[in-house]
Amino acid sequence: MQLKRIAQANLPTPWGVFTMIGFEELATGKDHVALVMGDITQDKPILTRVHSECLTGDALFSLRCDCGFQLEAALKHIAENKTGILIYHRQEGRNIGLLNKIRAYALQDQGLDTVEANHKLGFAADERDFTLCADMLALLGVKSIKLLTNNPKKIHVLEEAGINIAERIPLEVGENPNNEHYLQTKMQKMGHILHLHPVDK
């Protein structure tokens, strides 16, 4: 187990009241949170979103990615379902950090895609460790989930870590002219399951 559960409190949101639970990585002291709604102790798969931190998309309304759109859509899904978990996985920029993410953006402005930009900076295309999310689910007592994702890597890593993925639920939102190439790269180079449509320029 790489984490310990530290604290919890109510978090009112536009989609309803969640319980926010904070976790700390034992090795680094880095923190992550889970937003929980309803009774997740039920003996059935729990609707879950593993959402990676994206300051630019989640808080600053960036159109370069689909992250903020996915965050809002996931919270709405959970609220409509009245039960679920959103894991907020604090590994910014696919775990290269905010400043390197800005450097990667600059390289993308010069014509590189997101994978090429990460490689140019000396990183893998995706540096995230999703086993931390499996540990959070285990600490919440959840072993089986319905996962809101387009990313097969999340499914594979969580299953390898002992989480049963009973169903994959697509989360395709936020496509716009500014992130068209970004989404194409996710689909073509990173294997994300997407059904993209031409967008107006």
Antiparallel, parallel or unpaired: β 31-37 and 3-13: unpaired
Any binding-site annotation on 154?
Answer: yes
Q: Are 164 and 45 in contact (CB under 8 A)?
A: yes
Q: Are 56 and 69 in contact (CB under 8 A)?
A: no
Locate 186 and state its tokens. 């996710």
Any binding-site annotation on 133?
Answer: no
The rounded distance, in Å, linking the Cα atoms of 4 and 85 is: 17
Any binding-site annotation on 93?
Answer: yes
Any binding-site annotation on 53?
Answer: yes
Q: Is 126 marked active-site?
A: yes
Q: Which residues of 86-123 are buried (b: 16+ CB within 10 A; e: fewer)?
A: bbbbebbbbbbeeebbebbeebbeeebbbbbbbeeeeb
Any binding-site annotation on 51?
Answer: yes
Any binding-site annotation on 92?
Answer: yes
Question: Active site residue: 58, 66, 113, 126, which one?
Answer: 126
Q: Is 103 marked active-site?
A: no
Question: Active site residue: 58, 66, 113, 128, which one?
Answer: 128
Any binding-site annotation on 94?
Answer: yes
Any binding-site annotation on 149?
Answer: yes
Taking each helix axis from N to C end, the angle separating 152-160 and 131-139, rounded to the nearest 10 degrees, works out to: 60
Give the distance from CA 59 to its chain's centroid: 14
Binding-site members are: 49-54, 65, 67, 70, 92-94, 114, 149, 154
Binding-site members for Zn(2+) are: 54, 65, 67
Active-site positions read 126, 128
Binding-site members for GTP are: 49-53, 70, 92-94, 114, 149, 154
